Amino acid sequence: MSNHVFVLDTRKQRLAPCLPSVASRLLDAKKAAVYRQFPFTIILKKEVEATPEPIELKLDPGSKVTGIALKQGDKIIFGAQLTHRGQAIKASLESRRSLRRGRRSRHTRYRQARFLNRTRPQGWLAPSLQHRVETTLTWVNRLIKLAPIESIVQELVRFDLQQMENPEIAGVEYQQGTLYGYEVREYLLNKWDRKCTYCDAENIPLQIEHIHPRAKGGSNRIFNLCLACEKCNQKKGTKDIEQFLAKKPDLLKRILTQAKRPLKDAAAVNSTRWVLFNRLKETGLPVSVGSGGLTKFNRTRLGLPKTHWLDAACVGQVKSLEILTSKPLQIKATGHGTRQMCRTDKYGLPSRYVPQFKFVHGFQTGDIVKAVVTTGKKIGEYVGRVAVRSTGSFNISTSQGLVQGINHKYCTPIHRKDGYSYGF
């Protein structure tokens, strides 16, 4: 079942989202028009005086993907998964830095190096981290304009690393409560990729295993814990890992290295969680929080599968949920292009130039179009993100793959470029 459809009246006042079937009937009867394609929104052709039931916006911020869910009463009426491009930003900055350094060493045209002539403001975040905050806020503000959202719930503490190192820091009440152990288990599942550390088995029950056995002085600290299937756990028993993996030196080295390595994604979430929380409060809506352990506890209790948008639905205090959608909107941050005036090869030398004018026959790269080809070798209907060419022959990225050489005459825009691509 698809997401509910957002509804606005002719004054762009937010109304209660409706079922897709209701929206279809309104469109067929010419009582409404399509206002926005992604997320799908209709606008009525008359004013409506109504007091819609308030909606709660729930967020599960992640390093690579952020889960979004809208909850009306006990019903989840909308779900989305926002894929960030933090790694792409980091790679672009590293590429720019290497190209500039290369030009300096060759004594050709270059930008002077800057060292002590600038300072970072208080609360500065790396661009790849700031991007995660900004894209999440972009979609929070978009949804606030489309639905009667009255409150926000954010998963604030995904992994409390200090608490894992010192369990007594939160007191006995937390340690003996219902959520005992959930934070540690979720951390280990992410750190070891939800696989058995020793045999890489997945999609089976996994047990917490001590790398250095407790029988020989091993501790319960997080760096001494990993995941193992029941067979490997029993086979290892109280052996030291060096003895257990004596015939597998490569695997031994990888495990010992991974055990000491902090969880990169957890560090990214921990770096941005408070910044996002403070920015959400600036919206003027009440913001409440929940921990990652509580999210997993709710999801397990309700018997829901592990997905980002369902994790968002389970954030905070949840008694019961009725999931009314099974096809969350997949949102991927693609950026708005680049200001680079020419492309370079791997040696940093100019290889091709970027056209000055971005629009070709009214289209620009990033627009989502519908192409109905009626003649030639590529007869068919294609919907996807377009890449324009000055010749007027475009490429379209569809869910089935890339289709090349589609003439602009067959293309109709359905969603203008906004820095994101969409799917289901």
pLDDT score for 216? 85
- Give the chain's domains with CATH numbers: 1-52 (no CATH), 54-109+126-170+270-333 (3.30.420.40), 192-262 (1.10.30), 349-419 (2.30.30)
* pLDDT at 77 exceeding the cut of 60: yes
- Residue 14 near residue 145 (C-beta atoms within 8 A): yes
At 71, which helix (H) or strand (E)? strand 65-72
pLDDT score for 117? 67
Higher pLDDT, 168 or 156: 156
Percent of the chain with pLDDT over 70: 90
Higher pLDDT, 65 or 158: 65
* pLDDT at 341 exceeding the cut of 80: no
| Alpha-carbon span 42 to 44, nearest angstrom | 7
Buried b (16+ CB within 10 A) or exposed e, 141-150: eebbebbbbe
Question: What string of H, E and C letters represents the secondary structure of 255-267?
Answer: HHHHHHCCCHHHH
For residues 162-183, give the mean pLDDT. Answer: 48
**CB burial class (10 A; 0-12, 13-18, 19+) of residue 325?**
buried
DSSP state, residue 392:
S
| Alpha-carbon span 155 to 62, nearest angstrom | 9
The encoded tokens of residue 306 equal 């592990």
The encoded tokens of residue 289 equal 């929080």
pLDDT score for 350? 81
For residues 66-71, give the mean pLDDT. Answer: 96
pLDDT band at 181 (very low <50, low <70, confident <90, very high): low
For residues 338-364, give the mean pLDDT. Answer: 81
Tens digits of per-residue pLDDT, 19-46? 999 999 999 999 999 999 999 999 999 9
| Alpha-carbon span 42 to 423, nearest angstrom | 19
pLDDT score for 158? 54
Q: What is the DSSP string of 312-367?
A: HHTSSS-S--EE--SB-EEEEE--S----SEEE-TTS-EEEE--S---BTTB-TT-
**CB burial class (10 A; 0-12, 13-18, 19+) of residue 234?**
exposed
Tens digits of per-residue pLDDT, 269-284? 878 888 999 999 999 9
Statement: the pTM of the whole predicted model exceeds 0.85: no
- Residue 108 near residue 348 (C-beta atoms within 8 A): no
For residues 11-24, give the mean pLDDT. Answer: 94
- Give the N- to C-terminal CA distance of the chain in Å, as an integer: 11
Helix (H, G, I), strand (E, B) or coil at 178: coil
Q: What is the DSSP string of 212-239?
A: S-GGGT---SGGGEEEE-HHHHHHHTT-
pLDDT score for 78? 96
| Alpha-carbon span 135 to 116, nearest angstrom | 31
For residues 246-271, give the mean pLDDT. Answer: 81
For residues 156-182, give the mean pLDDT. Answer: 50
Q: Hunting for tokens 């030398």 — which residue is that?
A: 349
pLDDT band at 424 (very low <50, low <70, confident <90, very high): confident
pLDDT score for 258? 83
* pLDDT at 288 exceeding the cut of 90: yes
Q: How far is CA 346 from CA 108, 141, 218, 362, in A?
A: 17, 40, 49, 33
